[in-house]
Amino acid sequence: MNALFAVDKPIGISSNAFLMRLKKKYGWKKCGYSGTLDPFASGLLIVGVGAYTRLFPYLDKSKKVYEATLWLGAKSESLDIEQVHEVQMIQEFELGQILQVLSSLKGKITYIPPKFSAKHINGKRAYELAREGVSFELKASEMEVFELELMGYSHPFLSFRVSVSEGGYIRSLGELIARGLGCEGSLSYLRRIGEGNVRLEGEMQELQVFEGLSLPRVDLSEFIDEIGYGKKFRIPSNYGLRRHQAYLAVFEEFFSIIEIHENNQVHYLLNRIPKC
């Protein structure tokens, strides 16, 4: 079986453990997922089965959409509800002040990822080192906040919807919102509802194979024999294909992902991936 699925990971289970649950339930032999969600978070995971696990590097991950609730006054090493060790009683904020802070965080922002994160430190995950009590520092990172909308405010809980670039940490964004208001803050809820062109609609749905791919499509039907057998050949210059750009070539029974090298030579990134 070769397929891509959008699945809804529940709260309280790691992404890997949830994948193993699906693997056992459906009898998948080979599967994987794109974009880890923390155990406390829920929402969209894109799961690949069979040969389609090889498509993950080509998925459109340009924008990820989340809904989150920030607990103002809650202090947590992990910036989420799992590591809360202190709760401060703070006064309620004016709505205009909150909107001003959210507006200030749109665009490209610099942040320090939480130590309880999947960042790699000398070959180990940061959260593994943090749980072992190892002292380390994470470098500043950058993310782009495309949209940041207030969904509701019932003190001390502030709910927002945000669209961010790949690699953005919503826990760190929550920390920046709290700091902008002059207090501590940790996420009590996080749910991913969109990634690229894919939106979460139900517990599990199969995706059209090309729905999530961020590749220009090119008609190379006249070269089906060459591509079908993985032959070396050149694309005529009148096709106007750019060098070192990946392209999606779709045929009746299979598709391929190719790249154009020097002298218009075709290089196969993925070849003869079955359409179903």
Question: Per DSSP, what are the bridge partners of residue 153?
Answer: 158
Tokens of 196: 């690229």
DSSP structural state of residue 92: P
| DSSP 3-state percent helix, strand, coil across the chain (nearest 5) | 25, 40, 35
Catalytic residue among 8, 38, 60, 80: 38
Tokens of 46: 């894109």
Contact yes or no for 271/248 (Cβ under 8 A): no
What is the C-alpha to C-alpha distance for residues 184 and 188, in angstroms, rounded to an integer? 13
Q: H-type helices in the chain, by residue range? A: 15-26, 95-104, 126-131, 170-180, 224-228
Residue 245's alpha-carbon distances to 63, 191, 213, 241, 242, in angstroms, are 21, 33, 14, 8, 6
Taking the CA atoms of residue 38, residue 192, residue 107 and residue 62 in that order, the dihedral angle to the nearest 10 degrees is 100
Contact yes or no for 88/73 (Cβ under 8 A): yes
Residue 219 among the catalytic residues: no
Tokens of 148: 């940041």
Which residues are the active-site residues?
38
